[in-house]
């Protein structure tokens, strides 16, 4: 794909409206083109900003009732559907109190060259990046670099590729078999990804060192994907999947428990 075509298609790429082959073509160009990268960032940031900070206006109940009467409809049946209109609205905001972070990204745009540039858009960008990485791994059929259902094959594969050794846990007995592992780049750092599968749903488990010893489990929903994050023994874990949150949480707890068990033994 040449530059001219890529620039035209970028908005649709941000909106996930491109076909698989177009996305792959565009990504190949995007990786090597700084202008397209900037354009992509701008499109994405503006999209996030509007979704989170522009207002949804709602009609008053009185207006809805009156309109129902004018159309002589039965009043009790006239109820608008309350759809979650904004993709990050519910979990993302409430769990993380993240308005401030969205706001920080707003500042970064508005005062892009001034002192606000250093404000932390980190968390926001970061989950965005994780989701993008997860989606990419599904789209380009690149889930695993090493394909094996055996933890003892996957674990050594990472040695020499990373400066830490990610704990690999086998959960085949509870129907979350390992499919393989791969290296991915998050925040410009190489990280370990262990791929699990549950009833045809792939789960990407990202693992890298953390400065904290432990943390509680937190759940985020982003672009329809569920993310669960926790820290065990100075390792940070992010599980991402399109599984429902109950199953992903169950998966995450099992990983956490087994990692702790394996440390004791």
Q: Are 219 and 91 in contact (CB under 8 A)?
A: yes
115 binds other proteins (CB under 8 A): no
Give the closest residue to 10 by CA, choosing from 34, 41, 54, 32. 41
* DSSP codes of every residue in 93-150: HHHHTTHHHHHHHHHHHHTTTSGGGGS--HHHHHHHHHHHHHHHHHHTT-S-SEE-S-
User: Which residues, other chains included, contact 158 with Cβ-Cβ below 8 Å and sequence gap of 6+?
Assistant: 165, 166, 181, 183, 192
In the complex, minimum distance from the CB of residue 70 to other proteins, in angstroms, rounded to a whole number: 7
From 28-36, 99-107, 117-125, 229-237, span contacting other proteins (CB under 8 A): 99-107
- Closer residue to other proteins in complex, CB, 116/164: 116
From 104-112, 156-164, 206-214, 242-250, span contacting other proteins (CB under 8 A): 104-112
- Closer residue to other proteins in complex, CB, 99/161: 99
- Closer residue to other proteins in complex, CB, 111/234: 111
H or E element, residue 241? strand 235-241
Q: Are 219 and 230 in contact (CB under 8 A)?
A: no
160 binds other proteins (CB under 8 A): no
Tell me the site size for other proteins, rule CB under 8 A: 52
- Closer residue to other proteins in complex, CB, 93/126: 93
Residues 27-56 within binding reach of other proteins (CB under 8 A): 42-43, 45-47, 49-51, 53-56
In the complex, minimum distance from the CB of residue 3 to other proteins, in angstroms, rounded to a whole number: 15
In the complex, minimum distance from the CB of residue 243 to other proteins, in angstroms, rounded to a whole number: 17
Tell me the C-alpha distance between 237 and 231, whole Å.
6
Q: Find the binder of other proteins among 2, 19, 34, 82 (CB under 8 A).
A: 82
Tell me the C-alpha distance between 52 and 117, whole Å.
20
In the complex, minimum distance from the CB of residue 211 to other proteins, in angstroms, rounded to a whole number: 25
Rounded (10°) angle between helices 34-53 and 20-30: 120
Rounded (10°) angle between helices 20-30 and 3-14: 120
73 binds other proteins (CB under 8 A): yes
78 binds other proteins (CB under 8 A): yes
Tell me the C-alpha distance between 126 and 121, whole Å.
8
In the complex, minimum distance from the CB of residue 79 to other proteins, in angstroms, rounded to a whole number: 7
Q: Which residues bind other proteins (CB under 8 A)?
A: 8-12, 15, 17, 42-43, 45-47, 49-51, 53-59, 63-64, 67-68, 70-74, 77-83, 85-87, 93, 97, 99-100, 103, 106-107, 109-112
């Amino acid at each position: 794909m040449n530059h001219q075509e890529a620039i035209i298609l970028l908005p649709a790429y941000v909106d996930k409206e491109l076909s698989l082959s177009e996305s792959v073509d565009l990504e190949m160009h995007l990786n090597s083109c700084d202008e397209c990268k900037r354009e992509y960032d701008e499109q994405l940031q503006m999209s996030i900003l509007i979704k989170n900070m522009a207002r949804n206006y709602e009609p008053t109940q009185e207006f809805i009732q009156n309109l129902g009467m004018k159309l002589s409809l039965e009043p009790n049946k006239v109820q608008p559907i309350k759809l979650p209109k904004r993709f990050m609205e519910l979990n993302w905001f409430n769990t993380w109190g993240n308005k401030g972070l969205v706001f920080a990204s707003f500042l970064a745009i508005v005062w892009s060259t001034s002192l606000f540039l250093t404000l932390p858009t980190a968390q926001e960008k970061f989950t965005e990046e994780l989701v993008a990485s997860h989606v990419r791994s599904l789209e380009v059929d690149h889930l695993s670099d090493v394909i094996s259902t055996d933890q003892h094959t996957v674990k050594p594969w990472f040695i020499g590729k990373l400066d830490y050794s990610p704990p690999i846990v086998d959960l085949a007995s509870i129907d979350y078999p390992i499919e393989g592992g791969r290296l991915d780049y998050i925040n410009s750092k190489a990280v370990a990804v262990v791929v699990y599968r549950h009833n045809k749903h792939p789960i990407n488990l990202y693992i890298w060192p953390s400065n904290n010893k432990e943390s509680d489990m937190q759940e985020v929903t982003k672009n329809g994907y569920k993310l669960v994050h926790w820290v065990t023994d100075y390792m940070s874990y992010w599980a991402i999947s399109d599984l429902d949150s109950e199953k992903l949480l169950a998966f995450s707890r099992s990983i956490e428990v087994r990692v702790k068990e394996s440390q004791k033994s």
